[in-house]
Amino acid sequence: MENKTSFLEPLIERVEEYGKTSFELIKLKVIDKSAKISSTFLYRGIGLFVFGIFLVFANIGLALWLGDLLGKIYFGFLCVAGFYAFVLGALFFILNNWIKKQINNSIILQLLK
């Protein structure tokens, strides 16, 4: 009987160590994935912010230039706003499902890497 107990103790200890090691490995994988995803979103966010600042200044310049050509400054701003309203409508009605699918695929790819 004592032989069975001495045989089971090392086995139970190994199973316990395996469980702890597996848990640590899963924890480290989750931390790695979340760090990769957050760094990717932060990197893209900074890029979009810089691109947005560029677009703001470019649009102000374009609106002022168009307003100068059209005779009134506000006409230039109205033309630029109308252009963006058209682009927004096209994106919303035509590419809505495609954009959602691309974002979903990007998130899934980041999670599975």
Q: What are the tens digits of pLDDT across the range 38-64?
A: 888 888 899 999 999 999 999 999 999
Give the confidence band of 4 by pLDDT, cuts at 50, 70, 90.
low
The domain limits of the chain are 2-112
> Is a pLDDT exceeding 70 seen at residue 11?
yes
At residue 107 the predicted structure's pLDDT band, cuts being 50, 70 and 90, is confident
* pLDDT (average), residues 67-84: 94
Burial of 76 (0-12, 13-18, 19+ CB in 10 A): buried
Res. 65: pLDDT tops 90: yes
In terms of pLDDT, which residue wins out, 101 or 1? 101
> Would you state the pLDDT for residue 69?
94
The per-residue pLDDT for 62 is: 95
- Mean per-residue pLDDT, 100-106: 84
